[in-house]
Structure 1
Amino acid sequence: MKNYLNYSIILSMISFLLLVAVQPIDAAIDPIFTSQHVNLLTYFFNIESENLTNIFQAVFISLLGLGMFGIAFSFVNVGSKRIKKHNDYLENLVKDRTRTLEEKHQQLRAQNEAYKEALELIHDQKEEIETAQQDLLVKNRDLREAFEEIQSQNELLDHERSKLEQAKRIIQGQNKKLMGIARNLDQQVQERTKELSVSNNLLLEKNKELDEFIYKSAHDLRGPIARFKGLSQLIQMEYDQDNDISDHLRHLNHSANHMDNMLKRLSNVYEISARPISPQMIDVNMIMETVFERLKGEENMNNVSIEVNNLVKDKVQIDPSLLHLILKNLIGNAVRFYDPLKLKKWVKVNIEIVDKQLVVSVKDNGIGIKKEQQENIFDLFYVGSELPKGPGLGLYICKIITKKLNGDISLNYSSKEKETEFKTSIPIGL
């Protein structure tokens, strides 16, 4: 088909050229032919130019038409082949699609058969299911009745459980109370045990002090009694001989006073230990006045300069009689044991409040206390001097009073300055 097309194109081109050749030649091209009014064909062929030209034109036009027809036929033939080829492709595609559809149709038929069998099976199963549903309805009714019965029983159980929970809470509360009571009892028992232990220790200490008190009291009372007996016998002998017994009577009176003073001190010790504390709002200055009133009888009061520095201006709450005894004994001891060899003999009393405690300090420059005597200075009937100036009860009384008042008493002695200081600290109420 390509050859037909090529041939047709060549034929058309030759026909076109020949057709152009048989046209009259312009005089400008060749002057030779212009003068004779002839063309190329009349030049080569000695024919009548007009007829021959028409003939050739007709032939060349026919050839040109034939070439054009060949070209058109070639194009049509090429298009028809392409169409045929496309039709073949479409036909093959249709065949493939048809074959695929037939396969699908066969599959659908097989599936329809399977569906029919499945429907039949489902129908059979549906009947079985309906029968089973009827059985299930009956069983559900039975189960519902059983569930209602169980629910009623659960309600009863819940009610009983709530009662049990309430009882459990009550029991737990009672147990907590009992545990609290048990802990309190245990704590009280422990506290009571501690208190009893402290009381037993105090009792043992008191018994020891009482034994020591009785022993020392009996020992120290035997001296005045022995002097009484000796003086009585001496007075009787002097009286029988009509001698002057006034001197012996003075000694007898002195021994009687000494014994009376000792018995008063012993009575004070007992009263301090036995009687309860009676705190009162008092003025410390008034207590100091009563103390100095009682100390007027001391023989050394005029030999010693006493300086009092009372910084407590407001009233304080304390047992007045116990404070009176502390001041009286501390100041009395300081006056009693003065040093006659010193030019200036003084006693300094300082009273102040420190951290809610009444602090009393009594300092003197008396004869002092030896180092080996300081440890026992607060013991019963202990006298820290070789001079017989008292029964040895003043500092012991101060110790038991401060102990009774939950206070403290201490000794500070400076061997360099020969100064003795007794300091007491007693809790007070303001």
Structure 2
Amino acid sequence: MVARARSGGLLALALALVAVLATLTPGAAAPALAAPAPAAPDPFFAYTGAKPLADYAPGAVLKTRALPYTLAGLPLPLRVVQVVFRTTDQRGRAVAGVTSIVKPLAGTTKRVISYQSFYDSLDPEHGPSRAIAGSRESGAMAAHVETVLMSTFLLQGYAILMPDTEGPTADFAAGPEYGQVTLDGIRAALAAPGTGIASTAKVGLIGYSGGAIATNWASVLAPSYAPDVNRRLVGAAEGGVLVRPAANLGYVDGSRVWAGVMPMAVVGVSRGFGIDLTPYLSDNGRQVYDELQKAPILDVLGHYPGLTWKRLTKPAYADPARIPAFVTTVNQLNLGTRPTPTVPMFIGQGTGGELEGTRASAALGKGDGVMIAGDVRSLARQYCAAGLPVVHHEYPLSHFTSVPFWLPEAIAWLSARFAGRAAPSNCASIAPGNPLTPLRAAG
């Protein structure tokens, strides 16, 4: 299946990613943590109306604006409508979300792609909306790469939605909030004027890594949180999937490239769920926690090689299961305990994490460096057992280097769903994975 990736542009992207990773291999110097460039928040993204947000229905349009797609100050020949809408954060509070709608190149379309970005940041100013509006911050640049990745759909006349999935406070890794923002962003895009989207449009979900968090949670939550959106969904394609964060913590512990995601997730989850984990942190852990408050993923990867949970926490909490708030929170993020989606799914996952400095785990098996292949297999099998059509593919590559091989397969699969073809399934060939049991509190 790896050989099916034929695009020269995608292979060039893979080579570029490998070149970046070469600087992060054992023996190489870790990149310096870049100080975030100051940015004046754009007032458009804040809701300042007199009516309480809670009085609006989820997905209600609060304001819109039209602008050209701007790449670091350079306007491009793509027209965008940005929408501020009412959504729901991780704690159930009414907040203002934002999505950017890249309009179809001509006329009106009945085909819409909701693309969930892997911008992965603890700074709201790094969302794709900011990049599209002209931000020059390095943490916001992922959106431009991702627009190129979705160019196939644009050239075929689709509209592309790019929601700021982490919400207005950048609640990194808070999966249910990602899903709610995604679903309300679709509601808002379907209701907003001047988008070039037909009232009868169908929607496909797609995302990788952090975008897969949003894609899977949106799929899971749609039947209950947004049944009106669920009826329009044709399918969900995702890759590099986070299933059970408590297990991922053990997988990346002490790794070369991905260890810094541990404290990054502590910041994001603490913020999203409104809990304080700092009393459990060591002096070193508190220092790392403080310096990551607005960090993008680019300032984390490879910067904390070999970092362990034990170094982040006080000795009494070397086992995370001894932190009650942590146990309660990560168990809410376990997709294995949530309902099965009702739309067909394409799921891709790498197994070559050693390429990014993460060894296979004796307990958890292989992964792509940050996500665990056995957990993804189990989730796919769980969906299959419930009768959902699932295509699951594994690639003998890492998190970054799997992208060029996952992407063309995901695009082809999703395009077939829009064409009305029956969703295929390879459920019978998916190997067993890991138990998706919740974390048990330690006594």
**Which category of TM-score, normalised to the shorter sequence, fits these structures?**
under 0.3
TM-score normalised to the size of structure 2?
A: 0.20
Kindly indicate which of the two structures has a greater share of residues assigned to helix: 1
Kindly indicate which of the two structures has a greater share of residues assigned to strand: 2
Higher relative contact order (CA 8 A, sep 6+): 2
TM-score normalised to the size of structure 1?
A: 0.20
For the pair shown, the structure with the greater C-alpha radius of gyration is 1
